[in-house]
């Protein structure tokens, strides 16, 4: 649906020039939720703005839905932009217009009559759950409500693509989750391809299918959200994963040999890592029963990424040495990664 090839963009300013994008390439499939994560200044917004050509790349190609964006005439470009919705961190609602007026804004261009417009606006407000705010002005809305209106406005003309530039960065965690849930729902129901720009791994974890990690204008890592989350290859990616996962804290405590992980003689301390779709917990009690070992859970952390559980458990096994070894082998056979930390 979106194909970006070797896109570069340099901003010249009085204090020198900034290479915001360096030969960036990526492919986003139809109906996919594609995350772009990176620290401030990495070039994420510039990349997002290159998709609808709010920023014109210095070189490279941007293809959206089979159209080469960089070679369109201004008029064609405007037409193509109507097929690419965009929402922003600061919502960018028109303060002089009511919620109705804001959502109706793009519909006028689409040639809808007054009645059809009204019908569509109400439909959209029902979708985003703000029917009672139809006559409110943006100033009277909370951040989450404003973003819901902005989403309604962005999808009003049924675009094929929705670009979300830090759409939840100005919102509190609970509101963030509700907005992400709404975006996911829209993606499922309408099949809109989404590009989600963020600096929070939690956002990627919540809704993205695939993710690109950016640093200094380059994509340093790319892959399914699950694989990046489970085994990040780049340093930036690893630090993002760490920020969004409790497992990182467990590793730190183990490294520090915290008193919390001290074991008694005869016990074996092990870290179990598994990925799967649910029934894993039963493995532990099976191992315990079959081999006659006791398992004392010291830490546990579970993340669900793309409907897959990534679990980390730190256990203290106690029992016969051979039994513990057998239990560990049993777990390994069942796709659990067992690392003995201390014995």
Partner 1 sequence: MNILYQFFPNTMDKTTEFFESILQTLQMTAAAGAVSFFLGLLFGLLLTLTGKGGLKENRPVYYVADKLINICRSIPFVIMLTALLPVTRAIMGSAIGTRGAIIPLIVGSTPFFARQVEAALAEIDRGLVEAALSMGDSPFDIVFKVYLREGVPAIARGVTITLISLVGLTAMAGAVAGGGLGSFAIMWGHQRNQTDCTYAAMIAILLIVFAIQWVGNLIIKKTTH
Ligand X SMILES: Nc1ncnc2c1ncn2[C@@H]1O[C@H](COP(=O)(O)OP(=O)(O)OP(=O)(O)O)[C@@H](O)[C@H]1O
Q: Does 45 bind Mg ion (CB under 5 A)?
A: yes
Q: Count other Cβ atoms within 10 Å, centred on residue 259.
A: 7
Of residues 22-51, which lie at the interface with ligand X (CB under 6 A)?
A: 38, 40-46
Partner from partner 1, Mg ion, ligand X, none binding residue 94, C-beta < 5-8 Å depending on class: partner 1
Residue 179: both structure tokens together: 């907005």
Q: Does 146 bind partner 1 (CB under 8 A)?
A: no
d(CA 119, CA 107): 11
CA 172 to chain centre: 16
Q: Does 121 bind partner 1 (CB under 8 A)?
A: no
Q: Does 11 bind ligand X (CB under 6 A)?
A: yes
Nearer to partner 1, 80 or 224 (CB): 80
Within the chain, how many helices (H) and strands (E) appear?
12, 14
Residue 70: both structure tokens together: 């960089």
Partner from ligand X, partner 1, Mg ion, none binding residue 13, C-beta < 5-8 Å depending on class: ligand X
# residues near ligand X by CB under 6 A: 13
Query: DSSP class of residue 52?
Result: T
Q: Does 148 bind ligand X (CB under 6 A)?
A: no
d(CA 239, CA 245): 10
Partner from Mg ion, ligand X, partner 1, none binding residue 81, C-beta < 5-8 Å depending on class: partner 1
270 CB-near residues (< 8 Å, 6+ apart): 314, 315, 317, 328, 338, 339, 340, 341
* 3-state DSSP of 123-145: HHHHHHCCHHHCCCCHHHCCHHH
Which residue stretch of 20-28, 41-49, 66-74, 316-324 sits at the interface with Mg ion (rule: CB under 5 A)? 41-49
Which residue stretch of 134-142, 192-200, 245-253, 334-342 sits at the interface with partner 1 (rule: CB under 8 A)? 134-142
Length of the chain: 343
The residue ranges that bind partner 1 (CB under 8 A) are 52, 54, 74, 78-82, 84-86, 88, 90, 92-96, 105-106, 109, 137-139, 153-154, 163
The residue ranges that bind Mg ion (CB under 5 A) are 45
């Amino acid at each position: 649906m979106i194909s970006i090839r070797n896109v570069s963009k340099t901003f010249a300013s009085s204090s020198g020039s900034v290479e915001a994008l360096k030969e960036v390439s990526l492919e986003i499939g139809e109906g996919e939720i594609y995350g772009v994560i990176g620290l401030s200044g990495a070039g994420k917004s510039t990349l997002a703005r290159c998709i609808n050509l709010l920023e014109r790349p210095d070189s490279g190609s941007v293809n959206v839905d089979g159209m080469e964006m960089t070679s369109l005439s201004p008029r064609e470009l405007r037409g193509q932009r109507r097929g690419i919705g965009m929402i922003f961190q600061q919502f960018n609602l028109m303060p002089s217009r009511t919620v109705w007026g804001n959502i109706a804004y793009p519909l006028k261009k689409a040639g809808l009559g007054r009645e059809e417009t009204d019908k569509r606006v109400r439909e959209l407000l029902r979708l985003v759950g703000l029917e009672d705010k139809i006559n409110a002005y943006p100033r009277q809305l909370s951040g989450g409500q404003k973003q819901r209106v902005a989403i309604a406005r962005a999808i009003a003309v049924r675009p094929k693509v929705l670009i979300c530039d830090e759409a939840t960065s100005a919102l509190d965690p609970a509101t963030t989750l509700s907005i992400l849930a709404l975006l996911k729902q829209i993606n499922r129901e309408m099949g809109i391809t989404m590009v989600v720009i963020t600096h929070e791994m939690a956002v990627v974890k919540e809704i993205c299918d695939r993710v690109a990690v950016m640093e200094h204008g380059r994509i340093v890592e790319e892959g399914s959200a699950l694989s990046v989350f489970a085994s990040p290859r780049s340093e930036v990616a690893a630090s993002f994963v760490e920020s969004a996962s409790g497992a990182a804290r467990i590793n730190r405590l183990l490294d520090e040999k915290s008193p919390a992980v001290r074991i008694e003689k005869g016990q074996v301390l092990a870290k179990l890592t598994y990925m799967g779709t649910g029934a894993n917990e039963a493995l532990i009690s099976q191992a315990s029963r079959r081999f006659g070992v006791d398992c004392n859970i010291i830490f546990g952390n579970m993340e669900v990424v793309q409907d897959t559980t990534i679990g980390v458990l730190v256990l203290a096994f106690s029992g016969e040495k051979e039994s513990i070894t057998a239990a560990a082998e049993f777990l390994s056979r069942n796709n659990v990664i067992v690392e003995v930390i201390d014995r």
